[in-house]
Structure 1
Amino acid sequence: MPAETLIFDLVLHKLVQHVAPHGEQTHHLEHAVRTLYRRLTDDLRAESAARYDKLLAELYDAQTAERARLARELHDRAGYWLSVAHRGMEELCSPAPGAPAPLPARAADAVEGAHSAVLEAMHSLRATTTSLRLTEPVTSLETALEAALAALSTEVTVRLQMTGDEAWAPPDVKDEIFLIVREAVRNAVVHGSPGLVVVGVQIAPHELRAHVDDDGRGFAHQVRHSTDGVGLATMQERAEALNGRCTVTSAVGRGTRVEICIPLQEQTDA
């Protein structure tokens, strides 16, 4: 029983005893007032819950609309100019027959490095816009992960293990876990050259835990690739936004492990 109800019952009992200490109808009056109070508070709680759900839905719609807008802007503006730069650098790196003499070795190396950087930027932009276009809530985390992981690579074996009831996790948590796990697996496949990646998700009433283990080449934290580091930082920020944490452990030649823990009770109470 909520604390406020206990306090109300105590105050009501004292008040009725004070007003009519010896009346025969004291018990009936107290019961009637208590019943009326409970009905009113139940109605208010139901109305508040409905209002909360409506506001949450409106907030989610606004967020997904903004994400879609950002994806369009990034694709149409930044994506266009990256494509132009990419085509120009390809012509410099691989001139057509009859074109001017190739660049000096030093300049060619600089152009090749810039070309690689543009390719990486295009890949990151494509991954970002894909994530932003996730405008529908993940109704089945397992189904969404199976589809996303199957599309990541045909050369790496990716296994998914899920336990628990998805109904315990709110839609926004499932959305963010989907994005974090997908990025963790992408990092493993692209940067770690593994033969096997194992994804585990455990859902309990009080928390959601996930891990991504790979048997790739791993890395030393102090020499981590910069673009990989951006992906890891994004994953950690997503977890922290849900009052959770995302940790990464790795060693050269011993693979990498990403662990995510999200408290679910705090999401429900928020």
Structure 2
Amino acid sequence: MQDEKINRCGVFPSTFFRSLVFFSLIAVLLLPLYTIFYLSPSFVDFIIKSHKELAVDVAVHMESHLIPDETKNLTHDILTPIVLRRISTTADDFNLLKVRIMFPDGEIFFSSLPDEVGDFVEFGEFKQTVSSGKPMVQMIKKGEKSSEGRKMPGDVVETYVPILREGKTIGVFEIYYDVTRKKEELNSLLRNLYLTLFPIAVVLFCAVILSCRRANKNIAGRVAAEKELMQQREELKEKNDELIEVVAVCRERQKRLEEAQQAHQEAQDQIKREMHKREKMRIDLLRHMVRAQEEERARIARELHDETAQTLTAASLNFATLKNLLAASPEMAELVGNLQFLCKQMHNDLYRMVHDLRPAQLDDLGLVPALRYLADEGQKATGLKVRLTISGSQKKIEPFIETIIYRFVQEGLTNVTRYAGTDQAYVSLMYDENQVVARVEDHGKGFDPEQQQSGGGWGLVGISERAQSLKGTFRIVSAPGKGTMIEIVIPLEIASCPLNGLAAI
């Protein structure tokens, strides 16, 4: 199809260009005809019309000299020498070839040719002017005869202008204009115009042909370019089809990958939920274990206090009675006294054990008094000087949480006594707006927390797990030779709210 278009690209490649050349040729051929048959007659009509209007103006001017008084009629006695001189001057001023004044009956009243005075005219233009009261004009070419049968020496415009009084014609002006020179100037102007426009039209025609030939080359190049573009389009279409297949494969793989990712994400979410569930179960189990431990400690403390301590008291009383009965035997009395002393010592040790298992101050008075008692007893029992600091606004917290904090301080002081190698410890309890912070410090030997291992039982690992069970944090800051600081932080929303299943012990 593109090859056929290229073969059809001749001199004029399209209907538009052929039409353009055809109309250009018609314009070149019609230009002289237009000049001869339309433009020239139009100019002649313009000359006739302009001289008609000029003749009316001249007739009005002459009438004002002939009959200055509009009440008078046209008579022979108005042709005074002054009037004749004015008419002659007007004819010279307006370059009139001939002027005649006639009565309505056709008698020549005045003529620039004296031998015509007194003659009568009867031709149709004159009669039509008299009857209609309107000016009449005609063109008499050079060599043609006028209405009177005279051959004109040149191109003449003959004009009849009526003289009116109250709508009635009382006379007629006949004015001849010699327009030979003007017509020759007009013909010369038309010849120059033709000689100017015709080469321009020819040049334009040639320019159109050259433009069409150039357009022909451009169209041929464009058709060739379109052919190349069509080939490239086919190649691109093939590559696009291949690309579409690749995209379809990629989309399928992407879909499978998204499905795999979604399944993996769902599995991860399931694992997270399971881990969260297990962690919750672990924390709940830890809480129940702590609760069970504290309950067991309280039960043992009660049994030791209610049973074993009473038994030791009774034994001590019995040994005192026996000692009094054996006063006659000093050796036996001394032996019974030693047994009584051992009973009292066992009673004191049992009391301290009961207090360690479950301090009564914690249940009866609360956390702060229990910590003060713990500091005083530590000083008495081990010689450890404990400095207790309470800061912040004290708040009522759950007994279980108070037990956790008390055990943390108790374990911290025990570690100071056993491992720190110092007789000074610092305990602080801080009530902040959103949390409770308990801290135990010493300036002893210190240790490397990375190498610290759990010793079982309560220990530092137990403290950390109990802090986690309350959504709190446990922190150790220590280094060899720089002392040790342990800290537990419990949020107030945990510490201030009842815990299910963890009632006061």
State the TM-score, normalizing by the size of structure 1.
Answer: 0.49
Higher relative contact order (CA 8 A, sep 6+): 1
Kindly name which structure, 1 or 2, has the bigger radius of gyration based on alpha carbons: 2
State the TM-score, normalizing by the size of structure 2.
Answer: 0.28
